[in-house]
């Protein structure tokens, strides 16, 4: 999952962190014309920077504004800066949250594609094995028909009357009767198997169509994620160094009112193994859609960490939320899963002392943050 930073509109960032909205400034500066207005817009973004050529700066501003506006669903032309997000942080958070939701859909589609591949392979194997059985049954029926043909077409009573060895004839007749019964049984089984084979083929065709839809979903959600992340990077790159530092500090601060949390309790059992595995991944990069060990998205880190403890968790944060027993936040223990946002699109491992260990967002590494960094949806004990 492309693990965003906050709960979007529910985040509370002091206005003084950035002052006037950077997105608004970008939109405003990008639509002013003439060298003097371009230079004025450039200075309003980062007055402490060494001035760059006005035309180049205007082009940078225009590109950043256009990219962010398109990704956020706004239109730069004629836009009123006051209608833009109130801060660069809100804009970036929204982009990351949108990308995170798309990544979650990507992960879910990936799981569905994997299941369908297995189902299609199983169906193909079933069709092949079923066809082999049909062929064997047809051969058996052919053998019975040949035996009946060789026995002749004379009435059984006349056969017995003119037989030189009546006892041998009766034994042969009994065998033919058994062959007839077996033929009937084989024919019944053949018809049943053919019906099953037709149904298996229908299911295989359906699964193949669903597999193709799943592949299209994967590609579509991948494009959405990449577009949102590119817009977020463009917007972040438009910030000055002090603004980026302020952004990072704000993103790591707790913003949700929390109950009194218990002190540090040593993690034990499989939760302890999972937490220690996650701690071993500290500093590894966030990579959206990744499940480790070189990099992770947020649900990928949780899944991988618990896999080291021999526990198979689902791939997505929405499914991981229900992978254990819900507990109150006030009773959270190290190794519990902390799920964020109403759509459960972000998740991490509670590390004790009011901290969560998670893979936050692109450009950041696996790290500790305050557990109240964004609205908490659920606490789950695996």
Can you give the pLDDT at residue 39?
35
**Cα 51 from Cα 40, distance rounded (Å):** 10
Reading the block at residue 17, the tokens are 């962190």
**Cα 2 from Cα 230, distance rounded (Å):** 12
Reading the block at residue 336, the tokens are 């519990």
**Cα 375 from Cα 341, distance rounded (Å):** 6
Reading the block at residue 7, the tokens are 């709960």
Model confidence band, residue 178 (pLDDT cutoffs 50, 70, 90)? low
Residues recognised as catalytic: 298, 346, 358
Sign of CA dihedral 138, 143, 147, 149: positive
Can you give the pLDDT at residue 33?
37
**Cα 225 from Cα 285, distance rounded (Å):** 17
**Cα 288 from Cα 252, distance rounded (Å):** 20
User: How much is the average pLDDT of 322-333?
Assistant: 95
Digit-coded pLDDT (tens) for 55-78: 554 444 445 555 555 555 544 444
3: Cβ contacts below 8 Å, ≥ 6 apart: 96, 100, 286, 297, 298, 346, 358, 359, 360, 361
Model confidence band, residue 32 (pLDDT cutoffs 50, 70, 90)? very low
Can you give the pLDDT at residue 22?
45
Q: Looking at the predicted structure, is the pLDDT value of residue 328 above 60?
A: yes
Using DSSP's 3-state secondary structure scheme, residue 376 falls into strand
Lowest average pLDDT, out of 94-108, 158-172, 192-206, 322-336, goes to 158-172
Digit-coded pLDDT (tens) for 333-379: 999 999 999 999 999 999 999 999 999 988 889 999 999 998 999 99
Digit-coded pLDDT (tens) for 78-104: 444 443 334 666 788 788 878 877 887
Helix (H) or strand (E) holding 196: helix 166-237
**Strands across the sheet with 325-326, in order?**
325-326, 376-381, 337-340, 346-352, 355-358, 367-370
Digit-coded pLDDT (tens) for 211-241: 888 888 888 888 888 888 888 888 888 877 8
**Cα 301 from Cα 68, distance rounded (Å):** 29
Can you give the pLDDT at residue 172?
57
Q: Looking at the predicted structure, is the pLDDT value of residue 6 above 80?
A: no
The β-bridge relationship of strands 337-340 and 325-326 is unpaired
Lowest average pLDDT, out of 137-141, 290-294, 299-303, goes to 137-141
Q: Looking at the predicted structure, is the pLDDT value of residue 278 above 90?
A: yes
Using DSSP's 3-state secondary structure scheme, residue 290 falls into coil
Can you give the pLDDT at residue 164?
54
**Cα 97 from Cα 10, distance rounded (Å):** 12
Q: Which long-range contacts (CB under 8 A, 24 or more apart) does 238-244 make?
A: 238/22, 238/26, 238/45, 238/60, 238/61, 238/64, 238/88, 239/22, 239/46, 239/88, 240/45, 240/46, 240/48, 240/49, 242/48, 243/18, 243/22, 243/46, 243/88
Helix (H) or strand (E) holding 287: none
């Amino acid at each position: 999952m492309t693990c965003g930073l906050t709960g979007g509109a529910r985040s509370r960032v002091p206005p003084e962190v950035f002052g006037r909205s950077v997105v608004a400034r970008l939109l405003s500066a990008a639509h002013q014309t003439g060298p003097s207005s371009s230079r004025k817009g450039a200075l309003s973004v980062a007055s402490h920077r060494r001035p760059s050529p006005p035309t180049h700066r205007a082009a940078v501003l225009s590109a950043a504004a256009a990219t962010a506006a398109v990704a956020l669903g706004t239109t730069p032309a004629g836009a009123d800066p006051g209608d833009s997000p109130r801060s660069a942080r809100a804009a970036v958070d929204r982009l990351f949250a949108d990308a995170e939701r798309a990544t979650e859909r990507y992960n879910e589609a990936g799981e569905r594609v994997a299941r369908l591949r297995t189902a299609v392979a199983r169906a193909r194997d079933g069709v092949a094995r079923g066809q082999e059985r049909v062929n064997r049954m047809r051969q058996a029926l052919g053998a019975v028909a040949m035996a009946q043909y060789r026995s002749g077409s004379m009435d059984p009573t006349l056969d017995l009357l003119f037989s030189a060895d009546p006892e041998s004839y009766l034994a042969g007749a009994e065998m033919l009767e058994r062959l007839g019964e077996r033929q009937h049984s084989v024919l019944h089984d053949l018809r049943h198997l053919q019906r099953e084979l037709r149904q298996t083929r229908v299911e295989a065709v359906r699964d193949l169509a669903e597999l193709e839809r799943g592949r299209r979903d994967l590609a579509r959600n991948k494009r959405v994620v990449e577009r949102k992340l590119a817009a977020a990077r463009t917007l972040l790159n438009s910030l000055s160094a002090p603004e980026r530092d302020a952004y990072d500090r704000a993103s790591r601060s707790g913003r949700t009112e929390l109950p009194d949390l218990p002190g540090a309790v040593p993690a034990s059992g499989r939760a302890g193994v999972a937490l220690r595995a996650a701690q071993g991944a500290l500093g590894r990069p966030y990579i959206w859609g990744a499940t480790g060990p070189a990099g992770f998205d947020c649900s990928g880190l949780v899944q991988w960490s618990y896999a080291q403890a021999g526990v198979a968790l689902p791939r997505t944060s929405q499914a991981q939320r229900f992978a254990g027993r819900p507990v109150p936040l006030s009773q959270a223990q190290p190794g519990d899963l902390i799920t964020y946002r109403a759509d459960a699109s972000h998740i991490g491992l509670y590390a004790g002392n009011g901290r969560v260990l998670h893979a936050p967002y692109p450009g950041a590494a696996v790290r500790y943050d305050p557990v109240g960094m964004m609205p908490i949806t659920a606490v789950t004990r695996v």
